[in-house]
Amino acid sequence: MKQKLIAICGPTSSGKSSLGIKLAKKIGAEIISVDSRQIYRGMDIVTGKEIGEWDGEREAMIVEGVVHFGLDIANPDEDFSAADFKGYAEKKSEEIAARGNVPMLVGGTGFWLQALIDNFDLTEANKDEELRAKLETMSLEELAEAYKELDPEGFETIDTKNKRRLIRAVEVCKLTGKPFSKQQTVSESNYDALQLCIDVPKDVLYERINSRIDVMVGMGLLDEVQSLYEQYGCEVPSMTGIGYRQVCKYIDGLTTFEDAIEEMKKDSRHYAKRQVTWWKRDKRIVWVRSLEEAGGYINKFLK
């Protein structure tokens, strides 16, 4: 019998973390965060990380009494790939199940979640320094256009403002002769998974995104980015994410703080749209609008 696994996904600011904690309390689940920025130490405010008490023995964060894995497991200057996450999550899921609890994946990094559930074989192409040097000279618009031509499907969901990600995607396409979005191969899944995605009306979601970022500013968003900037600069992959790259432009004197925040809001709204596009393609995903609705699906799944 395959191990049961529950996933709570949804676009940024949809309320995944809050819903996950409430559901975990009801069924005795332990949470594994699926967020490609929350894995990094010191990246707290901008990523919307749940902050609790650190349990060194289990290497987990305890938030409202619920065990959370996948937070603060790497430094911002360390690479942490989808393949790294898959291995980590497989190990933690096994440990959680061995304790008699349910593994619950909560987060918005769709590719990482799919890599685990569908058991992707994440073989990666080697790097070509000469090709990469050429790509580095291209503008964001030129890289986006090049990637769109090489991989139209992948272009629909990639962050077109993330230069490092675009460079890697174009590089892999050119080195392998295959679309970046089709690099992975799928093996038989190790899990019996229920995937619930939070359905929020677009206008409500966009208002939540804007308000959430305003709250982040009040919590000290600028101080957090400034501290990371001083330690790591803005060229490490972790600092190219939404929030960090926009505020880095302000720190570098390339824009005003107000414009940086407006750009952060705009890019976050675009990211949310791409996230929804990603999950809408998977017909196995169940879209829910309330705690009660999600709880009903989970109760049936666990019986």
Residue where the block lists tokens 């309390």: 25
In this structure, the answer to whether residues 169 and 46 fall within a common structural domain is no
Residues written for the chain: 303
| Residue 102 host element (H or E) | strand 102-106
In this structure, the answer to whether residues 192 and 65 fall within a common structural domain is yes
In this structure, the answer to whether residues 28 and 147 fall within a common structural domain is no
Average pLDDT, the chain: 92
pLDDT over 90 at 69, yes or no? yes
Question: What's the burial of 270, exposed, middle or buried (CB within 10 Å: 0-12/13-18/19+)?
Answer: middle
> Is 278 within the bounds of a domain?
no
Residue range(s) defining the domain that contains residue 207: 203-272
In this structure, the answer to whether residues 208 and 233 fall within a common structural domain is yes
Comparing 18-27, 123-132, 148-157, 289-298, the range with the smallest average pLDDT is 123-132
**3-class SS of residue 178:** coil
In this structure, the answer to whether residues 165 and 50 fall within a common structural domain is no
- pLDDT 10s digits, 98-110: 999 999 999 999 9
| Token reading at 95 | 């440990």
- Dihedral sign for Cα 68, 69, 71, 73, please: positive
Nearest-angstrom CA–CA distance, 294 and 298: 6
- Rounded mean pLDDT, 264-271: 96
- pLDDT 10s digits, 148-171: 888 988 887 787 877 777 888 888
Q: What is the dihedral of CA 47, 215, 207, 110, to 10 degrees?
A: 10
Question: pLDDT grade, residue 177 (50/70/90)?
Answer: confident
Other Cβ atoms closer than 10 A to 52: 17
The answer to whether the predicted template modeling score (pTM) of the entire model surpasses 0.75 is yes
pLDDT at res. 184: 61
Report the domain count for the chain: 3
Question: pLDDT grade, residue 126 (50/70/90)?
Answer: low
pLDDT at res. 172: 80
In this structure, the answer to whether residues 142 and 260 fall within a common structural domain is no
The torsion angles phi and psi of 121, rounded to 5 degrees, stand at -90, 105
Other Cβ atoms closer than 10 A to 297: 15
- Contact call for residues 199 and 289 (beta carbons, < 8 A): yes
In this structure, the answer to whether residues 63 and 208 fall within a common structural domain is no
Nearest-angstrom CA–CA distance, 165 and 171: 10
| Token reading at 129 | 């320094």
In this structure, the answer to whether residues 169 and 265 fall within a common structural domain is no
